[in-house]
Structure 1
Amino acid sequence: MPHLLLTALVSVSFSFGFSCQLANAEDEVEIALIDDNDFQRGFVVWSPKPGMKRETGKLAPLANQGEPVWGLAQWHSRFDLAQSNISPGLMRYAHEAKSVEFDFSDPAGGTITLGLEGMTEYDGKAPERGAAWPHLLVERQLLAHPSLTEIASVPFRFSYRLIQEEWHRPEGWDAERHTAQFVFYITVQNQNPQSAGFRDFLWFGVPIYDTRYRHNPQRAAIDFSTKHKKGTGKFIFRPDSNHFTDQSAQDGRWITIDVDLLPLMKEALTKAWELGYLTDSRDMQDYHLGSMNFGWEVPGTMNVAMQVKGLSLWATR
């Protein structure tokens, strides 16, 4: 589930202008929400220590591409990926339990592979209930922050393939708690300074992979805290995976999601209000797109790796 540090991403500039380009339709405008879609500029690496975000290095696979616009969060990991050989120009960066690999050989677009070894992170022992878990999350602030009421759609495209799913069941292993999840979240935030709920937000999730399920069920819950890991306390809504694909990542084949997220985001807000969250404003006009992240959260002794490519995120109005 999302981590507290990502709340920093939603403390955005609250100007409501955005850069647009005309689409094919005469009355439709496309709003780019991300750039560097195949990560040629690499990543800024954040320290694993929770608290204030602190840069520990940069992964720069290609020269002369400019500063990274993506961050790489590794919260609660025992190891810092920036302690590996992070010389510019490398296609693979790895250290102890985590790895990031770039592949730009396909003219159609780049591929990145994110790997995390739960067995190494937990030193071969099943983590106790409430223990903090390691993350490897690609994250960024969106380029624009339109309100859900001023846009007609949020076209989203994303391809992924699970290439490693290695299970380990040490003593104390619990099938319900000890899992590995590849998550994708976008924040939907109240950006109306005149609202009592200004800056409050929810996590909207796209189900990608969870070792426990072939097909992910709907999730509507709170990002709770434990003794060892502080959560955001914000509402999480993730529709079931059938809204996105009838395939399962567990089969190890490429899956492409191509869907309009806007109706599901509106459903997330409605569900939050029904359950008593975000009640300081029930005006959908107040809620805007904020930030995003995707990658691994591994509360179990699994070794996993996922390839991703073809990320596209827009809004139209």
Structure 2
Amino acid sequence: MKKSLLIMMILLIGLSGCKEKTKPIIDDEGSIELLEDPTFATGFQLLGISPVEDGRTIQRHLNYNGEALPSTRNVWFMAQWWTPYDVTDATYEKLNGVHTYTTESRTLYMNPSDEGYLRIDLNASKEYLDGPRELGQPWTHALIEQNFNASVGMSELSALILRLEVTVNSVENKTGPTYDPGKHAAQLLWYLTLQNVVPEDSNPAEVGTRGDFLWFGIPIYDNRTDFISQSAHLDQGGPGTTNKLIYSMSSRNYFDEKIQMGKTYQIEIDVLPYLQEAFLYAINNNALVNAQYENMQIGYMNLGWELPGTFDVSSTFRGISIKAIKK
């Protein structure tokens, strides 16, 4: 317990300047790129439409009509939670080097040779067939995911640099007169997980529960606000949610203005101080009971749209990177 308290005191000192924008670390010597295949050359393993019924079962390999590079493991996954139009049945075409998958409600564009170009067009107006979503009902997702092949411990790091080029092409609210910002939104979000990695025979009273985790958010866009504030809440509100802590940093740390439609932004930030802040919050609020800092690892990410509201949206990504800088 004394060791844990000492770690918390050290972290609190390091967090004293956490609200200011973090300068990117340019020298990458000794760094590790956590993302395997950052250009999506191996394609995507498509998950089902229900996280409850389908779980992690792969429905289809979006392999660019056989042009995707082979891989010894499944690298990228794509989640399509709660869509009525399964991407398993999507049509495929290739035009000017861009691989395109199309359903009634969404179109996915990929070009590995263009810095990992990925465009997602999602029309929730064609997905909410029975009218706007009500509280307690699930909402549509379009996410890419990866479990890191080389997870790293937070205590090993001096920095964790995230980079992404992002353009919000368009957002159109199609919810209608029943629009309620308390339950309807268009959100473009980026998440990591911070996981408690301990041996199977560990004592939870000493090191916490094996596999316990929190969500760490790097929010990009929310139609309800110009800048997304720092927040902490539980992942709940619909079927398939995890009931785990979601701790998100403020978008003011990497955006100087309200997101402008069609304008390209470069995110480049060291998120390690904010991850440390998230860990302290979880410990102090019983979200990671008995977990120790030296056992926490960054092991997973997802990125994409969550649409609790009836919105038609489009976004483009390039140059995704998650680089661990060792001490």
Alignment-derived partner of residue 188 in structure 1:
194
| 1:285 has 2:289 as partner | no
Deviations 1:70-95 (A, max 9, x none): 00011111111120124788611110
- CA 1:124–1:116: 2 relative to 1, 3 Å: farther
Superposed structure 1 runs of 4+ greater than 3 Å apart: 86-90, 103-106
Q: Alignment partner of 1:249: what SS?
A: coil
Assess if the C-alpha contact under 8 Å between 1:59 and 1:86 holds in 2. no
Q: Deviation of residue 138 (structure 1)?
A: 0.1
Higher strand fraction: Structure 1 or Structure 2? 2
Whole-angstrom CA distance in 1 between matches of 2:37 and 2:146? 11
Q: Alignment partner of 2:145: what SS?
A: strand
Stretch deviating more after TM superposition (117-126 or 56-65) = 56-65
Counterpart amino acid of 1:169? Answer: T
| 1:41 has 2:36 as partner | no
**TM (normalized to structure 2)?**
0.82
Deviations 1:192-246 (A, max 9, x none): 22233221000001011111111111120011244xx131111110011111221
Stretch deviating more after TM superposition (172-181 or 207-216) = 172-181
Counterpart amino acid of 2:102? Answer: A
User: Following superposition of structure 1 onto structure 2, how do residues 1-317 of structure 1 map, counting pairs within 5 Å?
Assistant: 29-51=30-52, 52-61=55-64, 63=67, 65-67=69-71, 69-86=75-92, 91-104=99-112, 106=114, 109-123=115-129, 125-193=131-199, 194=202, 195-226=207-238, 229-281=239-291, 283-317=292-326
Alignment-derived partner of residue 17 in structure 2:
none
Residue identity (%): 30
Q: Deviation of residue 64 (structure 1)?
A: 5.2
- Superposed CA RMSD: 2.1
Whole-angstrom CA distance in 2 between matches of 1:98 and 1:60? 18
Whole-angstrom CA distance in 1 between matches of 2:31 and 2:181? 44
**TM (normalized to structure 1)?**
0.85
Counterpart amino acid of 1:316? Answer: I
Aligned length: 288
- CA 1:110–1:145: 2 relative to 1, 3 Å: closer
Whole-angstrom CA distance in 1 between matches of 2:169 and 2:237? 31
Deviations 1:107-133 (A, max 9, x none): xx2311012111111127211121100
- CA 1:218–1:127: 2 relative to 1, 3 Å: same
Deviations 1:235-268 (A, max 9, x none): 1100111112213334431011111111110011
Counterpart amino acid of 1:80? Answer: D
Q: Deviation of residue 190 (structure 1)?
A: 0.4
Q: Deviation of residue 179 (structure 1)?
A: 0.8
Whole-angstrom CA distance in 2 between matches of 1:231 and 1:24? 39
Whole-angstrom CA distance in 2 between matches of 1:124 and 1:94? 22
